[in-house]
Amino acid sequence: MATYSTNEFKSGMKVLLEGDPCSIVENEFVKPGKGQAFNRVRLKNLKTGRVWERTFKSGETLEAADVMEHDMEYVYTDGEYWHFMKTDGSYEQIAADKDAVSDAMQWLKEQGECTVTLWNDVPIQVVAPNFVDLEIVETDPGVRGDTATGGTKPATLTTGAVVKVPLFINIGETIRVDTRTGEYQGRSKA
């Protein structure tokens, strides 16, 4: 496997650190006038999502991590694993565990697209699209005509996710949700 030296570090580069795959967020060379030169690097641990800042001796090397992002289609879950299929024409299926699926779980719709990050061909992270359209299966009855007061109520979606929606929204309607914030965006256009 290739290695990268601190002077090759750039954002987006995938490296192995303490056995975990990490993505470099930011890299800065610092040479204080009277001290040891170093690189101040912000990294994101791709398994835990934790972002942290640490320094490296200038010239230190890290091993490259075999990390690839794939567009995939969510197929189903058997309760223990979530199954995805590559959309590159290979129809290859892979199974991701609960840790990898994590927060994306509540936004996955069968036949829906998502991005799966593979490390040495094992899924470590699943990211839902920024916006998903999901149907409401449970909420208090809608209040007719109330489109202006700005009040909200909880609504449960087909995936089990609960989002706050305006009072006039009813069961059976399909709404658009921003998966990064979990916020209601509006009724689906389709």
Provide the minimum distance between the beta carbon of 55 and other proteins in the complex, in angstroms, as a whole number.
5
Tell me which residues in 8-47 interact with other proteins (CB under 8 A). Answer: 28-40
Interface residue with other proteins among 59, 151, 154, 186 (CB under 8 A) is: 59
Nearer to other proteins, 29 or 76 (CB): 29
Per CB under 8 A, the segment of 50-58, 82-90, 106-114, 180-188 that binds other proteins is 50-58
Closest CA to 56 of 34, 80, 36, 72: 36
Number of residues located near other proteins, criterion CB under 8 A? 23
54 binds other proteins (CB under 8 A): yes
Query: 172, exposed or middle or buried, with CB in 10 Å at 0-12, 13-18, 19+?
Result: exposed
Burial 62-95 (b: 16+ CB within 10 A, else e): beebebeebebbbbebeeebbebbeeeeeeeebe
Nearer to other proteins, 17 or 143 (CB): 17
Could you give the 3-state DSSP secondary structure of residue 129?
A: coil
Could you give the 3-state DSSP secondary structure of residue 121?
A: coil
Provide the minimum distance between the beta carbon of 67 and other proteins in the complex, in angstroms, as a whole number.
22
Could you give the 3-state DSSP secondary structure of residue 189?
A: coil
> Which residues of this protein are in contact with other proteins, per CB under 8 A?
7, 28-40, 52-60
